[in-house]
Chain A
């Protein structure tokens, strides 16, 4: 946008008067989207933010920050942050670690590439609830997995996969994998295959190529995938309830907000918790994106050359 304008200015002497910028009629096409964002995101957000500073009931005594004080003052409530972090970070790390080699391997057409890619993306079409439903059947005490493990003799009593931390983690891994995989696949297929060949001819072993070329080239993609996955897993709610233990180890922050608002009918504290959750997500996103810093970020656009 700015570049052509600047160039116009440079040629300007031949023009009699600077042209007035006219509003492009097609710009109106963004109006519905803007209205939608205002109505469905900006207004509720501002409303919630304002609400969070209007404490309710006992919290009113502590001034405008009453709801926040209530949340941070209660050890059980504070724990919900930790409960979320210890789900979101491992789920993201495992998904990225699994998706990265697969995406890199599948970046070029190989036999079965389409089938494999489709297979990895299927969970995206299933909702978290459906995934939880499947898990209840599949991973339950009498499910196939436990039956198989018992039959092989690896375990002597059914493994508890469900209604605990593990259940929620597995559900998050399944539901988040497709987005992470697709994103990394996009980045991986943008890497010039000649780079790997050049590194090989220059004498770099497989490990050296991975560390010196592939990973640094993938870093912007890894950062974005990590950020997206962190946000998605941080707002985990259905799987924490359906295949987790929302009264204990998987009492995540989204659940705490829901409980405050809809069980205790304290909308102010519910909003305060939601704002805290948003702030933490933002911090995690910035942390993830800071992976991209260093000399490489500005050159991402040239990656395909």
Chain B
């Protein structure tokens, strides 16, 4: 384990608009050397714009970017010395793999012998020994991705920026490369800013996740914080709360709140300003919905509508009457038409105020 070259990256009040659309508004972030930070959000949330501003490929309208206390907001990208991995890999098609990886060193006029040694080492690190003389078009997508990684790390940058690097790979390779990226990050003591729309990727890779929406940070924190304490309905729905029910709020007592969803009385945990008599949304993860045998006390009676085998169990869609459906994950085998009882643990059923925006 090496120590990070970077001490800190600060992004202050970053704002960037395109024509009339605000892409990023008042973005603040402080990154400590060695951290792996993900910018997470759907397309158009401003995460890539933010990354490009940090890279210097876009000029922010206002705000500042500082590296170790030095303002680099107006420094051109070629003088920032960062590494970047692009979604399309952006390998130079006319150069061999070795020359691609060497590019950053060649433009820095590193001596030839040293370039050769460092390129070989970088290709070793990404487990691509022996492909140096080939051209990018001769490699598979996964290999091209590794080359892009090698090219970004060979200059030993203080900061690595990654723009959805795995989104062009198939599911299996994606998992493999995810581990690879995290391994390199740790082994080389990198500081990484990673853009993705994949919550699983963000949660598994990151020390901290910044979830963005419409150019604004919706919540930032450790993966555990986001996962277990989503601050808003938006965060919750983005992080796998797939049961979303419009409810009417009954009694509120402290954290506990009783609500009615399509005529079903439920008890949940209050999140945010939820007041009696106001509309709200209750939400729970499929895997938190407990599926029990019919007639279990204190449960909702329902009937299995769909049962999907998902490898490590079943995903059920169960109809609880009044048009209320629940998605549940369970290890037990249930068949379509089975009568079941659903238990929604109150501490797992989160009730958020309805969003006005």
Which A positions have Cβ atoms within 8 angstroms of B?
192, 194-195, 197-205, 208, 212-213, 216-217, 219, 295-296, 299, 301-303, 305
Contact = CB atoms under 8 A, between A and B. Distances in A.
A216 B84 contact: no
B90 A217 contact: no
Contacts of B77: 197, 200-201
A201 B53 CA distance: 12
B251 to A, nearest CB: 56
A203 B107 CA distance: 7
A198 B90 contact: yes
Nearest to A302: B137
Given A201-B57, A204-B103, A302 B92 contact: no
Contact of B108 (A201, A203, A303): A203
Nearest to A304: B93
Contact of B55 (A201, A296, A303): A201
A205 B83 CA distance: 15
Nearest to A294: B94
B224 interface: no
B135 interface: yes
Given A198-B86, A200-B77, A299-B136, 19 more contacts: A192-B88, A192-B90, A197-B77, A198-B84, A198-B92, A199-B92, A199-B103, A201-B56, A201-B83, A202-B104, A202-B107, A202-B151, A203-B79, A213-B92, A295-B135, A296-B93, A299-B94, A299-B137, A302-B136
Interface string B86-115: 111011111010000001101110000000
Scoring A198, A200, A296 by chain B CB atoms within 10 A of each residue's CB, the highest score goes to: A198
Interface in B42-85: 55-57, 76-84
B155 interface: yes
B281 to A, nearest CB: 40
A302 B55 contact: no
Given A197-B86, A197-B90, A203 B81 contact: yes
B94 A296 contact: yes
Interface of B: 55-57, 76-84, 86-88, 90-94, 96, 103-104, 106-108, 135-137, 151, 155, 161
A108 to B, nearest CB: 14
30 contacts: A194-B90, A197-B86, A198-B84, A198-B91, A198-B92, A199-B92, A200-B56, A200-B77, A201-B55, A202-B78, A202-B83, A202-B84, A202-B103, A202-B104, A202-B151, A203-B107, A204-B107, A205-B78, A212-B92, A212-B103, A217-B93, A296-B93, A299-B93, A299-B94, A299-B136, A299-B137, A301-B137, A302-B93, A303-B93, A305-B93
Contacts of A295: 94, 96, 135
A205 B107 CA distance: 8
B94 A217 contact: yes
A195 B92 contact: yes
Contacts, number: 87
Scoring A192, A201, A205, A213 by chain B CB atoms within 10 A of each residue's CB, the highest score goes to: A201
A205 B57 CA distance: 13
Contacts of B96: 295
Contacts of A197: 55, 57, 77, 84, 86, 90
Top 6 nearest A-B pairs (CB, nearest first) are: A194-B90, A198-B90, A202-B104, A302-B137, A296-B94, A201-B84
Contact of A212 (B93, B107, B108): B107
A82 B81 CA distance: 52
Contact of B78 (A195, A201, A296, A299): A201
Nearest to A202: B104
Contacts of B84: 197-198, 201-202
Contact of A305 (B56, B81, B137): B137
Contacts of A299: 93-94, 135-137
Nearest to B81: A203
Scoring B55, B80, B107 by chain A CB atoms within 10 A of each residue's CB, the highest score goes to: B107
B28 to A, nearest CB: 23
Nearest to A205: B78
Scoring B94, B104, B137 by chain A CB atoms within 10 A of each residue's CB, the highest score goes to: B94
Contacts of A194: 86-88, 90
Contacts of A202: 78, 83-84, 103-104, 107, 151, 155
A198 B92 CA distance: 9
Contacts of A200: 56-57, 76-78
Contact of B88 (A201, A203, A301, A305): A305
B57 A203 contact: no
Given A299-B137, A302-B137, A201 B93 contact: no
A203 B78 contact: yes
Nearest to A220: B94
A254 to B, nearest CB: 37
Contacts of A217: 93-94
Contacts of A195: 90, 92
A62 B229 CA distance: 100
Contacts of A192: 88, 90
A201 B80 contact: yes
A59 B107 CA distance: 63
Contacts of B87: 194
Given A197-B86, A299-B137, A302-B137, A208 B93 contact: no
B88 to A, nearest CB: 5
Contacts of A302: 93, 136-137
A25 to B, nearest CB: 37
A203 B108 CA distance: 7
A297 to B, nearest CB: 10
A86 to B, nearest CB: 33
A202 B104 CA distance: 5
A302 B94 CA distance: 9
Contacts of B106: 212
A217 B93 CA distance: 8
